[in-house]
Amino acid sequence: MKYSSFSSRSNGEQGANGEQATSGERGARQAGIISLCFAALGGLTLALLLSLVEPSAAQPDGATEPARFSARVGHAVRSLMEPGRSAPGAFPSNVTNPQDAENPAARIHPEFALSHDELVDLLQNAPDSIRKRIGNEAPAFLQAAKPLLDPQQAELLMLVDRDHPLPSAYRPADLVPMLDFDERITGAAPQARIDRRAATALAEMQEAARADGVELQPWWAYRSYREQEELHAHWRNEAGEEAAHRFSAAAGHSEHQLGTAIDFAPIGREFHGTPSDRWLSENAWRYGFSLSYPEGKEEITGYMHEGWHYRYLGRKAVELKREYFEGLQQHMLEFLYPALPHLRAAHEDSPNPYSPKAF
């Protein structure tokens, strides 16, 4: 009975207002269509927002799917709504493989788990000009520094100066006699020894100089802690403590103990301006050799100009020195001394999509 009465009342109302009922139905249908359109538009907008958001930037480890979804939507909406915020997909120019423009840990190189700020922190003791240059070219700098991360290169890049001594027992593992090195090196002292890696490069360099009409005379290389101690004592007695301190290193503080530093004859001021001096100044870097104590840089290096003293660092290291450290070995080694362990760790912790360890 209730159903019949309700039906009769409805039919009666429709009969009395037939035209109005038809208009209402049409309006309801239009409202429904509009609602569906807005819903579809909202879905497309949401999909677009989600496609623009880097998932890893807003998905904490262990988060549930709803939490991930909420985080991604919230990030996208905030990026669009808040003044001054970068839209999703807009990243700082120094980020080559960014995960999120707002993420301070965004990588500046795809193979290094290292942010721009972290790299700048490693440069805190470098001159402003060097810090600015590397900061502006951070991805290229890290790419150039990659070959130096090999642990086998560590000995070639050791910082040895007034403040960073070698242990008295330190001795290079692979020393070879200079004159007996495949009979390719000439002009050395009879007892002179040298690191094998430096010997290989020296032989190539001496042959190249000879082809240019210049006969290099690599007189001495490795000097033990004890030998340096005796030599330094000699110069203190000859020239006095203060004068000797400018050109003679105390035992443990000499690059010669590494076995990779070479003194070319004639040793002393008479070397400056010779054909050997000019040729080495222009070409030594091509063979991985670096002038340790340039002219006018005593305040930085700790020693007066020694144009005859070259140290083997390897070609890649010397290229890095020339490109980013204003050609000064001291600046580069002072940076690498504390930075190399951090750079190695950042490189090891960063999966390289082009290497097997990433899979």
pLDDT of 164 > 70? The answer is yes
Sequence ranges of the chain with CATH classification 3.30.1380.10: 166-322
Average pLDDT over residues 222-226: 98
Class of domain 166-322: alpha beta
- In terms of phi and psi (left: phi > 0; alpha: psi -120 to 50; beta: otherwise), the region of 201 is alpha
Mean of all residue pLDDT scores within the chain = 78
pLDDT confidence of residue 104: 45
Average pLDDT over residues 185-214: 97
pLDDT of 236 > 50? The answer is yes
User: pTM of the full predicted structure?
Assistant: 0.70
- For residues 202 and 288, the answer to whether their CB atoms sit within 8 Å is no
Helix axes 18-52, 65-81, angle to 10 degrees: 90
- For residues 289 and 318, the answer to whether their CB atoms sit within 8 Å is yes
Average pLDDT over residues 120-133: 95
pLDDT confidence of residue 105: 52
Q: Is 140 exposed, middle or buried (0-12, 13-18, 19+ CB in 10 A)?
A: middle
pLDDT tens digits for 33-67?
555 545 545 554 444 444 444 443 334 444 444 44
pLDDT of 22 > 60? The answer is no
Which residue matches tokens 């980020």?
Answer: 95
Q: Cα–Cα distance between 97 and 159 in angstroms, integer?
A: 32
What SS3 state is found at 220? strand
pLDDT tens digits for 285-334?
999 999 999 999 999 999 999 999 999 999 999 999 999 999 999 999 99
pLDDT confidence of residue 74: 42
pLDDT tens digits for 89-100?
333 334 344 343
pLDDT of 152 > 50? The answer is yes
Q: Cα–Cα distance between 247 and 240 in angstroms, integer?
A: 11
